[in-house]
Structure 1
Amino acid sequence: MTKLMTSFIALSAALSSSAFAQQVTLNLSNEYAANSIHGVGDARFANAVADETNGEVEIVVHYGGALGYKSADHFDAVSVGALEIADTYGGALGGIDPLFLVSSLPFLVTTVEEAKLLYEVSEDKFQRIFEDNDQILLYASPWPPSGLWGKEPLDSQAALEGVKIRTYDKNGATALNELGANAVRMSWADVVPAISTGAIDAVLSSAEGGISSSFGDYYDTYTEIYNYAIPLNFVHMSRFVFDELTDQQQEGILRAAERVSLENWAAVPDRLEETYKELDEQNITVVDTSDPDFRNALQDAGETTLEKWLEDTGVEGEKIIKEFKEKRNE
């Protein structure tokens, strides 16, 4: 019997026995650390759910992949009810549907406000995908802008040549390979071991992601690359589990999700400020790329990545980009 099926049977039994009880405990899986921006967001959500349901629903958050699931495992696990709730990096869902990669398209957005607008024009598509797979999209939250962690500045195309860089999804692999790097797609849980063994030379991630996972133990340079992307994490819940809750519990969870979504988006500027203080305290050099030739090369790589994404997503992808650009220019 598979791990998913065993977990599903156990969950069914637990829900059946507690269907008429007021107190419900639900598990939330997150591959990232408790002190990461999404770890903090999950704790915020757990507190909001307790508040909105008058303590009837308890969310227990499991950080750092403690339940044995990486982001790439979450979708299937939640779909069959083996996991009640998961907080999942969107790039890991690109194999489910390439529309999930829209938030990591290089240089499409350069501010949190633009990232939120892009999510808003895409949200109904994401909701449909989750619903079609017996899940509910509770909310999505952003990462701060991505850059490059390494042992030296990565502020030119020549500096990237042949460098083995961990990227978080297909878009990153396309863009970085276009620039001459050797891009390696890798789950977050595998990044620090790969750094420590020298399997990779650099990491595409936010400054915040590197700080929360102690990249300063290995790297002393963070290169900003024009707010490369502001990707999203999705918090999604099993439809089976949700339907077993009382109406009041369901409404409380949805209210908590709406509340926390707003708080998470609003938290990014302060989180960025805190992160840059940490970079300074750890003597990590922040490199500001200013070479116009490099900037043009980055933009070209971004255009190539967008074209390939549109090939994968077709009409739906075109509609999202068109609507986003129209609303951005209003």
Structure 2
Amino acid sequence: MTAHTTARLIAGLLAATAVPAAAETWDMPTPYGDSVFHTQNITQFAEDVAEATDGELEITVHSAGSLFAHPEIKDSVRRGLAPIGETLMSRLENEDPLFGIDSVPFLAASYDEAEALWAASRPAIEEKLSEQGLTLLFAVPWPGQSLYTQGPVDSVADMEGSAFRAYNTATERLATLMGAVPTQIETGDIPTAFATGRADAMITSPSTGVSSQAWDFVSTYTELQAWLPKNMVIVNTGAFEGLPEEVQTAVMEAAEAAETRGWEMSEAETEAQIAALTENGMEVMEPSETLSAELAEIGETMTAEWSEQAGEEGQAVIDAYRAE
């Protein structure tokens, strides 16, 4: 047998016994149900990744907290229990104030302002996540938070003494600065709280207004877009870097597309849900000049308080945002 023939036999044996690289499957926990636009966007992201990698990476989306509850998702990704997941960015504010920058009332009160704030804060957020072995893929905002009341509000004085639904420290502080009385109420308890008199005003998104059928207990929606909190999709850095380079590229390209698509979906959601409030008999109003000016002043107070907590790093982000 010649050396050439032997080489051909060896090559043939190697080809026959070679096993193609197995497709990798990632489980992805998300907090919200399949009807929520964030989940729909992530489902499309997963499909885009599978298509771009020819099935080399499959992402299985576990929605509505079915794999890990919302408070557990970030740590599950950090610890490698799930390689990828979605979480509300401001849920991490107790770790570092910087994660709460998108929930400072009236700092960024429109989609354009929210986009500028994200551009200014993203590098610092990515660095914070990187320190924990996490990589940011993309972030998408919820519709802006606006005011629901029993009647028109022309100035902050009209809120004096009202029972104001709060759901975190920022909304408690906002209520206090408006002269209202904050009362902690979870989303699922909103209708009962209003029906029993525990609350008569709230600030929340048009989506929550529709899902809670706000027209049953309040008459007026004042469009403020006081802040637009974001959900982040994060990945375990070790798991990500363990992917072949071309798969990493495909994931990042799909993430970029998901962020663009998600912001568009959020704006569409805002328009659709405000239309639903109108269709169900609510009066949809723009804030008066007086109310806008007073709320802007409250926003300056809360921004200064946040900046003090966040220190020089936080102030640097604020400065970069305002320079935009």
**Normalising by the residue count of structure 1, what TM-score does the alignment of the two structures yield?**
0.80
Q: Deviations over 1:251-281 (max 9, x none)?
A: 2211110111111223333332222222233
Cα distance in 2 for partners of 1:164, 1:122 equals 30
Cα distance in 1 for partners of 2:298, 2:223 equals 12
Cα distance in 1 for partners of 2:201, 2:50 equals 40
1:311 aligns with 2:312: no
Residue aligned with 2:30, SS = strand
Cα distance in 2 for partners of 1:185, 1:91 equals 18
In structure 2, do the counterparts of structure 1 residues 245 and 184 end up closer, same or farther at CA, with 3 Å as the change threshold?
farther
Cα distance in 2 for partners of 1:185, 1:258 equals 37
Q: Find the counterpart in structure 1 of residue 65 from structure 2.
A: 65
1:123-162 equivalences under 5 Å are 123-149=122-148, 153=152, 156-157=155-156, 158-159=158-159, 161-162=161-162
Residue aligned with 1:107, SS = coil
Cα distance in 2 for partners of 1:150, 1:192 equals 18
**Amino acid corresponding to residue 21 of structure 1 in structure 2:** A
Cα distance in 2 for partners of 1:29, 1:241 equals 18
Unaligned runs of 5+ in 1: 1-18
Residue aligned with 1:311, SS = helix
1:105-116 equivalences under 5 Å are 105-116=104-115
1:130-279 equivalences under 5 Å are 130-149=129-148, 153=152, 156-157=155-156, 158-159=158-159, 161-167=161-167, 169-184=168-183, 190-193=186-189, 195-196=191-192, 200-211=199-210, 213-216=211-214, 219-221=217-219, 223-279=221-277
Residue from 316, 320, 323 that aligns with 1:323? 320
For residue 69 of structure 1, report the CA deviation from its aligned partner: 1.1
Cα distance in 2 for partners of 1:45, 1:128 equals 23
106-115 or 263-272: which moved more? Answer: 263-272
For residue 115 of structure 1, report the CA deviation from its aligned partner: 1.1
Cα distance in 2 for partners of 1:160, 1:39 equals 38
Cα distance in 1 for partners of 2:200, 2:89 equals 24
- For this pair of structures, how many residues does the alignment match? 301
In structure 2, do the counterparts of structure 1 residues 162 and 220 end up closer, same or farther at CA, with 3 Å as the change threshold?
closer
For residue 20 of structure 1, report the CA deviation from its aligned partner: 4.9
Cα distance in 2 for partners of 1:299, 1:192 equals 30
1:22-61 equivalences under 5 Å are 22-30=23-31, 32-61=32-61
In structure 2, do the counterparts of structure 1 residues 220 and 42 end up closer, same or farther at CA, with 3 Å as the change threshold?
farther
Q: What RMSD over aligned residues (CA atoms) do the two structures have, in Å?
A: 2.7
Q: Larger C-alpha radius of gyration, 1 or 2? A: 2
Say if 2:83 and 2:235, in contact at 8 Å, map to a contact too: yes
Q: Find the counterpart in structure 2 of residue 83 from structure 1.
A: 82
Cα distance in 1 for partners of 2:142, 2:90 equals 12
Unaligned runs of 5+ in 2: 1-19
Cα distance in 1 for partners of 2:175, 2:315 equals 23
**Normalising by the residue count of structure 2, what TM-score does the alignment of the two structures yield?**
0.82
Cα distance in 1 for partners of 2:38, 2:222 equals 21
Say if 2:106 and 2:227, in contact at 8 Å, map to a contact too: yes
Say if 2:49 and 2:58, in contact at 8 Å, map to a contact too: yes
Q: Deviations over 1:287-312 (max 9, x none)?
A: 433261x3333122211111110111
Residue aligned with 2:49, SS = helix
For residue 125 of structure 1, report the CA deviation from its aligned partner: 0.6
Residue aligned with 1:110, SS = coil
For residue 218 of structure 1, report the CA deviation from its aligned partner: 5.1
Cα distance in 2 for partners of 1:247, 1:170 equals 42
Residue aligned with 2:233, SS = strand
Say if 2:90 and 2:99, in contact at 8 Å, map to a contact too: yes
Percent of aligned pairs sharing the same letter = 26
Q: Find the counterpart in structure 2 of residue 289 from structure 1.
A: 287
Q: Find the counterpart in structure 1 of residue 5 from structure 2.
A: none
Cα distance in 1 for partners of 2:220, 2:243 equals 46
For residue 216 of structure 1, report the CA deviation from its aligned partner: 4.1
For residue 104 of structure 1, report the CA deviation from its aligned partner: 1.7
Cα distance in 1 for partners of 2:27, 2:205 equals 30
Residue aligned with 2:221, SS = strand
